[in-house]
Amino acid sequence: MNATDPQQPATPIVPETPEETSAVDALRAEAEQHRADFLRAIAELENVRKRSAREIDAARQFGVERFAADLLPVADTLALALESAASADAATLVEGQHATLRLLQKAFQQAGLSEIDPVGKPFDPAQHEAMAMLPSAEHPPHTVAQVIQKGWLLNGRLLRPARVIVSTAPAPESAPASG
């Protein structure tokens, strides 16, 4: 029998002395303990995976709960405005619209939303979307001259770029024709 021949089955080691028997028993017990620890670790990893999946699902379903609760007063105020629209005067309606807008802005602020209102600031393609160019003597070139639609950031990350009109240098006036 050749010890290096992979085709030959390995002969089991049979302990011959009581010391060898107790050493083999100790090694078997240690191997069994390692196997049990391994199986427990696998089960714990599976539990962590399942728990994480449940937490992610709950976060997806209820992640906007606080924001939705902050928007409920806005909805209540709008409903009240619609109910009283027939009997209220214009000044009262405008006042109600301002109050509703303040409630909405407060809800946005608490949710981490902030406006991008870049009038008079240099054009930034990372936060602004140029809709048109406008020659302007009032603004330096490549400056936001007018905002068509405000942009929004969510916790510092761009949610929607501001749509803007960007100033250019005014066209040079043509010299009068000399005759």
Consecutive sets of 10 residues in the chain, 179 residues long: mean pLDDT of each?
59 74 90 96 96 91 86 91 85 90 92 92 95 91 94 95 94 61
Q: Distance between CA 120 and CA 142 in Å, rounded?
A: 10
Q: Distance between CA 116 and CA 15 in Å, rounded?
A: 81
Does 166 fall in a domain? yes
Q: Distance between CA 169 and CA 163 in Å, rounded?
A: 20
Are residues 176 and 145 in contact, defined by beta-carbon separation less than 8 angstroms? Answer: no
What pLDDT is recorded for position 63? 81
CATH of the domain at 137: 2.30.22.10
Does 19 fall in a domain? no
- pTM, whole model, 2 decimals? 0.61
Tell me which residue range forms the domain holding 132. 113-171
Strands (DSSP E) found in the chain: 113-116, 128-135, 144-149, 151-154, 157-160, 162-168
Count the domains in the chain. 1
Q: Distance between CA 108 and CA 68 in Å, rounded?
A: 11
